[in-house]
Amino acid sequence: MEPRLIRLEEKVTYLEAYVGELDAVVREMHDRVDRYRGQIESLRALVERGGADGRDGAGDSDTDLEEDKPPHW
């Protein structure tokens, strides 16, 4: 077999493997985008409802801030 043909076959084999790897990466990124899109929609709905506990921001802001401190405080 000609050396030129052998080199071409090697390149095709390499490129097929590379395309397979890129395809796996693109699929993973697509799945991530879908998950992030769902999370964003959930957060958007939560914000539109006024928060997780239904408060609309009314009330004593100092008391609300004290209650909303993260657990590590």
**Above 60 in pLDDT, residue 8?**
yes
Please tell me whether residue 4 adopts helix, strand or coil conformation: helix
**Above 90 in pLDDT, residue 56?**
no
Give the torsion sign (CA, 57, 45, 68, 73): negative
pLDDT at 67: 72
Eight-state DSSP code of residue 71: T
Q: Model pTM? A: 0.55
- The number of residues in the chain equals 73
